[in-house]
Amino acid sequence: MSASLLRRADRVWPLLFLLCLLAGGGLSVALGTDRNWDLQNYHLYAPFAWLNGRLFEDGAPAQLQSYFNPFLSLPVYALWMGLQDWPRLYAFVMGLPAGAFGFLVARIAWAHASPLFGRGEAGLTATALAVLAGLTGAAVLPGVGLSANDVAAAVPLALSYLLVLREAERRDAGEPPRLRRLAVAGAAAGLAAGLKLTTVIFAAPIGVMILLLLGLRAALAAGAAMGAGFLLFWAPHALTLWRETGNPLFPLYNHVFRSPDFLLQALADERFLPRSRLQALLYPFWWLRPTTNLVTEIRMRDARVATGYIAFLLAVPLLLWRRPPGGRRAVLLLMGVTAISYLAWARMFGIYRYLVLLEALSVMLVIVALGLAFGRRPVPALAVLGLVVGVLLGTTVHPNWGHGRHEARLFQSDPIPVKPGALVVTLDWEPHAYLVPFLPADVRVFGLHTNFNNPDHDHGLNRRIRAAIAAHDGPIWGVAGPGTPEAARVAVLRAHGLQEAGPCTLVRTSLERGGHLFCPLRRAG
């Protein structure tokens, strides 16, 4: 693809979009079938429960995540159930969002590189290197095709950023920002946050930078649309939770909303948060060597954010010394969004796979720093950029969050002994809820000991579970992972007046090779 073709962008970009979609789908097929922990726990159960009105007929079978917004998982569930005999086609379709994200990253890279490196071969080379590095990090690449949807949720965020970037360029050129375009940008960011609340770490910084760079009218237009997009996809589920429990984020922030159905406490996963202020400030440099249980449970290493961090620090004095071609607002947008989103992430989550957009934008910071440092001398700038990208590619250790080899069908299972009219209770923190759609339709499922609730808690949810068990006059089954000690199962059952009534059956599935123990139960005493 030559520079002359790039000048005819109206013809090149649509072709590139199609190629990116094909590449995303093909890469997903090559990586394998999605079988990650979240898929087993709630990405199948949550939309199933929503479609069948079961969220409060059951009792947290998908643990805490039972109550997460199911809308982003609806396509996953539809594809999973509709393409059971076509696992490779399922993987291909699941990879299409990654292709769309790659296309948007290419547009963003070109927008940042072309003013600094020119619209010829140098700008094209810088763009290609940025895309190569930006799409192969430890957050982006392992997330391709996964139902965790971190890459899919980054698509509207990247679109929002690109639209704001275009309006920042217009403002630098002396033209007023287009409010309709900014409204679309705001709606895209709000949509992302409504579908997946963790993306607020990017949506909010985009809104802040619109205000700082484009003015109050622009911020009001984008903010109103952002709020509307957020409410469109968050409010329906939140209203359901509010109506049933009194907490629109149930069970999160229950110390604020004070639902009687859970303890008055703040639930938070703090396993991966920085351990000190110094570590919070310099956290990306801890990822320069392979780590486990620092920002993810699985071994990983990635230097992209740390490299972007250094480029950010270099760009600050360079920006004061040299005015970028086309103006400063585009560069300030990049620096503002990356800095604020990183600080928000380090304060709120510390979970690496949430950094999909930051990982890609970090490489853009390198482009900006090199472009400012070398001015109109693209050859040495590209040489350094190529060296940096080579180091990034050569040192990355990618975690596997759940890809596996393709089977004949997406879901295969040993016979499940549960018959119609039964009740099922889960006894540990293992993910069992993906089995619920494959149980008889009248079987209710309750989580007795989960990642947010245990039998010792006295609140409405546990009282409802106990009442359902007491009122049930049919068979009862307990489910646990094969690694859960018998003593732990017995303790959970005893707290609910139950005990095992016979030998357990190990049911293996294509998603969980270790299987699930199904144990017949009876009332104690």
DSSP 225-238: HHHHHHHHHHHHHH
Per-residue pLDDT at 160: 98
Inter-residue contact 151 to 101 (CB < 8 Å): yes
What does the alpha-carbon distance between residue 422 and residue 2 come to, in Å, rounded to a whole number? 65
Considering the domain boundaries, does residue 153 fall inside one?
yes
Provide the domain count of the chain. Answer: 2
What does the alpha-carbon distance between residue 199 and residue 284 come to, in Å, rounded to a whole number? 19
DSSP state of 300: B
Helix or strand run (H / E) with residue 404:
strand 403-404
Considering the domain boundaries, does residue 280 fall inside one?
yes
Q: Which two tokens stand for residue 254?
A: 């229950």
User: Quick one: average pLDDT of 407-436?
Assistant: 97
Evaluate if residue 525 carries a pLDDT over 80. Answer: no
Inter-residue contact 511 to 38 (CB < 8 Å): no
Considering the domain boundaries, does residue 46 fall inside one?
no
Reported confidence tier of residue 13, pLDDT bands at 50, 70, 90: confident
Packing angle, helices 121-134 and 378-395, rounded to 10:
20
Considering the domain boundaries, does residue 87 fall inside one?
no
Considering the domain boundaries, does residue 305 fall inside one?
yes
Predicted confidence (pLDDT) per residue in 383-392, tens digit: 999 999 999 9
Considering the domain boundaries, does residue 231 fall inside one?
yes
Considering the domain boundaries, does residue 351 fall inside one?
yes
Does 439 share its domain with 290?
Answer: no
User: Quick one: average pLDDT of 335-356?
Assistant: 97
Three-class secondary structure of residue 506 per DSSP = strand
Per-residue pLDDT at 64: 96
Q: Angle at CA 45, nearest 5°, toward 261 and 148?
A: 105
DSSP letters spanning 441-478: TT-EEEESS-SS--TT--SHHHHHHHHHHHH--S-EEE
Does 469 share its domain with 389?
Answer: no
DSSP letters spanning 176-212: PP-HHHHHHHHHHHHHHHHH-GGGHHHHHHHHHHHHH
Domain range holding 301?
8-31+95-395
Considering the domain boundaries, does residue 467 fall inside one?
yes
What does the alpha-carbon distance between residue 363 and residue 376 come to, in Å, rounded to a whole number? 20
Per-residue pLDDT at 5: 46
User: Quick one: average pLDDT of 347-355?
Assistant: 97
337-to-368, 430, 505 alpha-carbon distances in Å: 14, 37, 52
What's the residue count for the chain? 525
Per-residue pLDDT at 375: 84
Q: What is the percent of the chain where pLDDT is above 70? A: 98
Per-residue pLDDT at 343: 97
User: Quick one: average pLDDT of 186-209?
Assistant: 97
Helices within 285-348 (DSSP H only): 304-321, 329-348
User: Quick one: average pLDDT of 104-122?
Assistant: 94
Does 243 share its domain with 355?
Answer: yes
Does 437 share its domain with 381?
Answer: no
Evaluate if residue 290 carries a pLDDT over 90. Answer: yes
What does the alpha-carbon distance between residue 260 and residue 267 come to, in Å, rounded to a whole number? 15
Per-residue pLDDT at 325: 86
The whole-chain average pLDDT of the chain stands at: 95
Does 376 share its domain with 432?
Answer: no
The residue that leads in pLDDT, 314 or 327, is 314
Lowest mean pLDDT among 68-72, 265-269, 337-341: 265-269
Predicted confidence (pLDDT) per residue in 226-279, tens digit: 999 999 999 999 999 999 999 999 999 999 999 999 999 989 889 999 999 999
Does 390 share its domain with 449?
Answer: no
What does the alpha-carbon distance between residue 188 and residue 161 come to, in Å, rounded to a whole number? 9
Per-residue pLDDT at 8: 54
Does 235 share its domain with 102?
Answer: yes
Does 453 share its domain with 364?
Answer: no
Cβ partners under 8 Å of residue 356, min gap 6:
101, 139, 140, 143, 150, 151, 153, 154
Does 362 share its domain with 505?
Answer: no
Per-residue pLDDT at 361: 98
Q: Which two tokens stand for residue 483?
A: 């690694």
Q: What is the percent of the chain where pLDDT is above 90? A: 93
Evaluate if residue 327 carries a pLDDT over 90. Answer: no
